[in-house]
């Protein structure tokens, strides 16, 4: 939800900022802008559109010589995407520049107050209010920039990660965060600032992740100073050594990040269980679980909170955890949970699932659960993310950076982690017999190979995509473990191809959606041999007798469904409980190819952003 980049050092800032913005474009891409300072002049160049449009717009702008710069790629909240609403924003004097990720919720009263005091506004953004508030504080209270930002932020309600530059203090940039991520790359005589570490990984692996309610004064030639915004206390910043490398955040020969990430699944699933799953010895060992095993074993209920694809992984987990451990599980949209006065008991364990670890609603749900005394466990991908820090304990998915807005490898690695958790609890509780437990471990270990095999369906998925690329609607049906997969398949299609799609439990179809079926309606049915196969076959027959076009995902060698379906995609056989890890693959490929055929921007679908850090 907006990407911010900053640089202060001895190199040319413009190329660093532009490259950084390209890496952060997954966070938002409806407009972009840069601010540069070369020691004399403060230059701002911004435009509606993508970073490529920004480069075009900046062609005639003098960028050389500037060694201080800030850039922003936007996902609009306040004010439509246009040139004026793009960041950076300047204060009325033109001396202060700001870039901002987040929302200032009380911007209207603040704006009114500033207007009364003679300030004028060019944009409709909350950000322009903030920069003028800082200027006002600076002037009226005669404060240095850092202090003025701090005092202004104390008046703000909402979320922010900001960079502020003052032409009068050309050796420093002030950064602060509350609820939106902000990382500082520490180099030799240079600093980098970004929403995540990807823009600066090629320059430095030393990073400081600012915590909520912290402000840092980044001054050239001086040690970084971090303070708490509220009480002004000094904080000793922790410099992390980053593990990520450049290759992980580039496309590596694939046309799109999404395709690269789909194909990474065999290796990242292996990374997810590496060192945790010792199938031959019958061991599952995850530090976050071992340290809190009693809580899980004695849990009266497990509540799962998440959004989007992560919520679908939560639904798969509901089936797996209940089946293996007999602990009741409830899965909640974090956005609903946080506002509905939910019943949270002390004996509940809350699992929060999030790829980015920054989703605002999930974070708020975690805070609510903690306030009510629950133990909260995080399943996150991004190391050091807000959710991973906010939870009592957790397990990383180790999927590596996911850049494509449509989640793919995050989903399967989340399911892998959650399945391991279920198996470990079941073993400790004795709710799964030893033979089954060992069998699941062996099967889980084989999943990467089977995902590889499932990826061989790429050509078939592409052929089917060519047939249905112009379909206005699409239904996805599955039962049991594969009902959440049907939801996920539909979400993937919707978000990247803009085709209306719905996922349903196959048997629910006759309670309404069956009315939609005619010869124009493609229906994707997930029908692996294990599970409720015969029931799904009956559902397929119901669709067929109403002339629906059936695309079936079947187990290799299946003949019964093949005879009924118009198109089949074969996948290797695994047990019902693990099948979502395999059945998901062809659905990801199908949506990918449909979106490509339709000429859609697969990695940056319209209106979306990778991490939703606003509610």
- All residues at 6 or more sequence positions from 435 whose CB lies less than 8 Å from its CB, including other chains: none
Residue 388 near ligand M6R by CB under 6 A: no
610 is catalytic: yes
Number of other residues whose CB lies within 10 A of the CB of residue 110? 20
Write the binding mask 481 to 510 for ligand M6R: x where contact by CB under 6 A, - elsewhere.
Answer: ----------x---x---------------
Distance CA 530, CA 554 (A): 10
> Would you list the DSSP string of 118-151?
T---SSS-HHHHHHHHHHHHHHHTT--HHHHHHH
Q: Write out the E strands in 295-374.
A: 301-306, 329-333, 348-354
Residue 612 near ligand M6R by CB under 6 A: yes
3-state secondary structure at position 46: strand
For residue 28, the minimal CB distance to ligand M6R (Å) is 13
For ligand M6R, give the closer residue by CB, 11 or 370.
370
Residue 354 near ligand M6R by CB under 6 A: yes
Count how many residues are written for the chain. 615
Distance CA 173, CA 42 (A): 14
Residue 348 near ligand M6R by CB under 6 A: no
Find the binder of ligand M6R among 309, 325, 416, 555 (CB under 6 A).
Answer: 309
For ligand M6R, give the closer residue by CB, 1 or 164.
1
Stretch that binds ligand M6R, among 14-22, 29-37, 253-261, 356-364 (CB under 6 A): 356-364
- Asked if 550 and 566 count as a contact pair (C-beta separation under 8 A), the reply is yes
For residue 354, the minimal CB distance to ligand M6R (Å) is 3
Find the binder of ligand M6R among 355, 482, 604, 613 (CB under 6 A).
Answer: 355
Distance CA 32, CA 46 (A): 6
2 is catalytic: yes
CA-to-CA dists, residue 341 to 157, 337, 363, 368, angstroms: 22, 7, 16, 9
Write the binding mask 443 to 482 for ligand M6R: x where contact by CB under 6 A, - elsewhere.
Answer: ----------------------------------------
**Total site size for ligand M6R, rule CB under 6 A:** 17
Residue 391 near ligand M6R by CB under 6 A: no
Distance CA 541, CA 538 (A): 5
Residue 308 near ligand M6R by CB under 6 A: yes
Stretch that binds ligand M6R, among 152-160, 276-284, 573-581, 605-613 (CB under 6 A): 605-613
Tell me the Ramachandran region of residue 363: left when phi exceeds 0, alpha when psi lies from -120 to 50, beta otherwise.
Answer: alpha
For residue 605, the minimal CB distance to ligand M6R (Å) is 8
Starting at the earlier edge strand, list the strands of the sheet with 549-555. Answer: 500-505, 473-478, 522-527, 549-555, 567-571
For ligand M6R, give the closer residue by CB, 310 or 427.
310
Residue 356 near ligand M6R by CB under 6 A: yes
Residues that bind ligand M6R (CB under 6 A): 307-310, 354-356, 359, 362, 405-407, 491, 495, 608, 611-612
Q: Catalytic site residues?
A: 2, 610
């Amino acid at each position: 939800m907006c990407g911010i980049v900053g640089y202060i050092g001895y190199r040319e800032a413009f190329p660093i900022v532009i490259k950084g913005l390209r890496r952060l474009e997954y966070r938002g891409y409806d407009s972009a802008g840069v601010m540069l300072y070369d020691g004399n002049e403060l230059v701002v160049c911004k435009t509606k559109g993508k970073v490529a449009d920004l480069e075009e717009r900046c062609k005639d702008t003098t960028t050389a010589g500037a060694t201080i710069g800030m850039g922003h790629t936007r996902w609009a909240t306040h004010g439509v995407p246009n040139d004026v609403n793009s960041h950076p924003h300047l204060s009325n004097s033109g001396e202060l520049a700001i870039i901002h990720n987040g929302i200032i919720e009380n911007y209207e009263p603040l704006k009114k107050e500033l207007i009364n005091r003679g300030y004028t506004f060019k944009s409709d953004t909350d950000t322009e209010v903030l920069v003028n508030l800082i200027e006002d504080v600076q002037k009226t209270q005669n404060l240095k920039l850092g202090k003025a930002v701090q005092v202004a932020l104390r008046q703000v309600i909402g979320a922010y990660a900001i960079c502020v530059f003052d032409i009068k203090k050309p050796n420093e940039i002030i950064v602060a965060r509350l609820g939106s991520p902000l990382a500082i790359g520490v180099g030799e005589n240079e600093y980098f600032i970004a929403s995540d570490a990807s823009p600066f990984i090629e320059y430095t692996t030393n990073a400081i992740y600012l915590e909520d309610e912290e402000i840092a004064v980044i001054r050239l030639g001086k040690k970084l100073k971090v303070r708490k915004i509220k009480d002004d206390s000094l904080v000793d910043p922790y410099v992390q050594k980053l593990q990520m490398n450049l290759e992980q955040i580039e496309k590596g020969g694939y046309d799109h990040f999404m395709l690269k990430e789909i194909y990474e699944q065999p290796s990242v699933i292996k990374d997810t269980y590496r060192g945790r799953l010792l199938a031959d010895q019958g061991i599952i060992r995850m530090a976050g679980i071992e340290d809190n095993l009693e809580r899980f074993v004695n849990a009266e209920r497990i509540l799962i909170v998440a959004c989007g694809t992560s919520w679908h992984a939560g639904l798969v987990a509901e089936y797996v955890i209940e089946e293996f451990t007999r602990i009741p599980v409830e899965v909640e949209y974090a956005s609903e949970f946080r506002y509905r006065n939910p019943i949270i008991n002390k004996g509940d364990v809350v699992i929060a699932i999030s790829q980015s670890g920054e989703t605002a609603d999930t974070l708020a749900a975690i805070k609510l659960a903690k306030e009510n005394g629950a133990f909260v466990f995080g399943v996150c991908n991004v190391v050091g993310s807000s959710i991973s820090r906010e939870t009592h304990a957790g397990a990383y998915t180790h999927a590596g950076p996911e850049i494509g807005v449509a989640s793919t490898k995050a989903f399967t690695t989340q399911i892998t982690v959650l399945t391991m958790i279920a198996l470990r609890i079941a073993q400790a509780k004795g709710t799964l017999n030893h033979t089954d437990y060992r069998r699941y471990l062996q099967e889980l270990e084989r999943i990467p190979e089977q995902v590889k095999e499932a990826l061989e369906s790429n050509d078939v998925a592409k052929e089917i995509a060519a047939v249905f690329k112009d379909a206005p609607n699409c239904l996805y049906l599955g039962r049991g473990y594969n009902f959440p997969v049907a939801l996920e398949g539909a979400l993937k299609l919707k978000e990247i191809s803009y085709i209306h799609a719905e996922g349903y439990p196959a048997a629910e179809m006759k309670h309404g959606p069956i009315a939609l079926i005619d010869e124009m309606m493609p229906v994707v049915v997930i029908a692996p041999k294990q599970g409720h196969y015969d029931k799904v076959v009956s559902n397929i027959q119901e669709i067929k007798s109403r002339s629906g076009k059936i695309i079936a995902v079947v187990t290799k060698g299946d003949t019964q469904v093949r005879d009924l379906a118009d198109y089949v995609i074969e996948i290797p056989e695994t047990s019902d409980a693990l099948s979502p890890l395999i059945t998901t693959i062809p659905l990801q490929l199908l949506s990918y190819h449909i979106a490509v055929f339709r000429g859609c921007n697969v990695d940056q679908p319209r209106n979306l952003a990778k991490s939703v850090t606003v509610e």
